[in-house]
Structure 1
Amino acid sequence: MKTKVALVKGGYTGEAEVSFKSAAFVYAQIDKNKYDVFPITVSLDSWFYEDESGNKHEVDRQDFSIKLDGESIRFDVAFIIIHGVPGEDGRLQGYFDMIGLPYTSCTALTSALTMNKGYTKAIVQDIQEINVAKSVLLFEEHRSKAADLVLEKLSLPIFVKPNAGGSSIGMSKVSDWSELRKALDDAYDAENTGYQVLVEEFVTGREFSQGIYRDSKGVLQVLPATEVRTTREFFDYEAKYTPGLTEEITPADLNEEQKERADRIIKEIYIRLNCKGMVRIDFFIENNTDKFFFIEINTVPGQTAQSFIPQQVRASGRTETAFYGELIEAALTS
């Protein structure tokens, strides 16, 4: 009997558009000889499975089951591919824990922690060889005086972004103080991000993104890094999802010492944050100093054909089909 996989997509934020594209790619790659895959959409309005005829079948949220032709379908595992709320911030993971359904991502606690960029930096900053940019974490209560707090503590240029957002939505680079108020408003008002803002000083260096996962045997596997070079001022939403604006080099041109150091640090981040499944870690290597600067961790990274993780999987000599199978099997055995 095939393993029944719920491929959970959608979400409550602007990242749902990316989630649908990721889910379509994952669905196409999963081995259908081994797995029965049911794409499940989670939205603010409803949770449902849409069959090949376009008929929608509501999910019973008591046990995350669906009914097809009068038969109740229960899933063996959930493959979470929701970027942002509620698939990356721990809400969905907590629900699955309560009903006893295994899933492919980090736990509820780790997901909730890592969704908060400021809190994550506080946890990882004492890892040997890691550096973090100087920053200010702002809450809703700080909004009226946010600009003054930033002016007092940081120097230009700076990045302003939602503390619990993704896909660079609501993110701005500020090179002149006259731009700060609008950047703060954009970050505060980003949909479903909790009215928290992280402001960081700019690090001048090469930007990289690198995946890591624990396979079905429990062994940590670090994927080759990708270097990101964009024609935009920074790697914003348009640069991420508009063809031609960004050059992505996989595997990245790192010397052997840099590669070994990045792999070592990324493994330690994964362990320190108690990660599961696949995650992606973004970092800078600073010009002149060669220091490793942590940017953020993504616990449900994008999975479109051009996304970093599939690129890195292919560069490592694996196929996406084998990779997704490893993630499913690891979730079932963890």
Structure 2
Amino acid sequence: MKKNIAIIMGGYSSEHNISIKSGNVVFKYLDAKKYSAYRIVITKEKWFYLDDENQEHPVEKSDFSIHVDGVKIQFDCVFNAIHGTPGEDGLMQAYFELLGIPQTSCNHYEAALTFNKRDLLSTLKPYGVPCATSYFLNKGQSVDENAIADKVGLPCFVKANRAGSSYGVSKVHKKEDLGNAIESAFKEDTQIIIESFLDGTEVSVGVITYNNEVTVLPATEIISENDFFDFEAKYMGKSKEITPARITATQESNVKKLAEHIYKMLGLKGFTRSEFIFIGDEPHLLEVNTTPGLTEESLLPQQAKTAGISLEELFDSAIVEALR
């Protein structure tokens, strides 16, 4: 008997439309012989099932069910394709944990921790994970440009603390430009993180649980045509993404070990994608994404393809592991 799978997509953040694309790719590639897939769109205003005729059917939030043609449908598993809140910050995970419905991403605490860049890096630094020097700032605090520049140096990166897809991220070369960058980041979040510039090769590394084993995928080298790997570089073709990355055997070994170490140490599950910059042979962690992009062009699917894992196999494995 086929399993009913809810593919949740959308969300409340600036990444809503990107998430819709990811969810539709999952819907396209899930094995129709094994699964009955349902696209569930999550917005602040409403949650609904979008059928093949693009008709909306409301979701009953008390038990996460839908009614179609008078028949109540409940779900065996949820495939989480929401980037940003509420799918990547632990809110949906906690909801499904309370309902007892398996879902494909990590559990709620780990999702909340990894989504909060400041908390994540603060947690990992005592375990010897190399990171950039950082400065934290909350909305309403006074801004001391001299103190920021003294601590992190210039150029530096100003980032929204809890956002993805490079929304609210600026590279700042001059101290007098810090104010505008901080204002831009605060449009995405009430917390920001300002980090020192790391000058080295940037790579992205996917780690997944596949066939009941933690599996590190081939690294992708990121070469942006812009000043850094911003939204245009990620989604508008302004970058080169080379998989496998053109790094030395030592660098490859070091970054794979570190990516796997972080995955296991934090107790993650499902799909993750971590970003690193090499200083010499040593990878420095930038962030960990627990619901990475899943379109055909996204980094994690590229890496899986290089490892000989098709999209059908990749998405099937997420459900198998969640149900395990």
What TM-score, normalized to structure 2?
Answer: 0.97
> 5 Å matches for 1:1-334?
1-128=1-128, 130-142=129-141, 144-145=142-143, 147-190=145-188, 193=189, 195-217=190-212, 219-243=213-237, 245-286=238-279, 289-333=280-324
Structure 1 gap ranges (5+): none
Q: What is the alpha-carbon distance in structure 1 between the residues aligned to residue 139 and residue 184 of structure 2? A: 13
Q: 1:290: how far off?
A: 2.3
Q: What is the alpha-carbon distance in structure 1 between the residues aligned to residue 182 and residue 153 of structure 2? A: 16
Partner-residue secondary structure (3-state), 1:145: coil
Q: Deviations over 1:274-293 (max 9, x none)?
A: 1010100100112xx32211
Q: Deviations over 1:215-241 (max 9, x none)?
A: 242x10110000000110000011100
**Partner amino acid, structure 1, of 2:138:** F
| Contact residue 216 and residue 327 of structure 1 kept, 8 A | no
Runs of 4+ that moved beyond 6 A = none
Number of residue-to-residue matches in the alignment? 324
Partner-residue secondary structure (3-state), 1:213: strand
Partner-residue secondary structure (3-state), 2:226: coil
Q: 1:147: how far off?
A: 3.4
Q: 1:102: how far off?
A: 0.6
Q: 1:151: how far off?
A: 3.4
The CA RMSD over aligned residues, in Å, is 1.2
Q: Deviations over 1:101-149 (max 9, x none)?
A: 1100011000001111011111222334x3111011112242x335354
| Contact residue 138 and residue 146 of structure 1 kept, 8 A | no
| Contact residue 49 and residue 56 of structure 2 kept, 8 A | yes
Structure 2 gap ranges (5+): none
Partner-residue secondary structure (3-state), 2:185: helix
What TM-score, normalized to structure 1?
Answer: 0.94
Partner-residue secondary structure (3-state), 1:131: coil
**Partner amino acid, structure 1, of 2:66:** I
Partner-residue secondary structure (3-state), 2:143: helix
| Contact residue 127 and residue 268 of structure 1 kept, 8 A | no
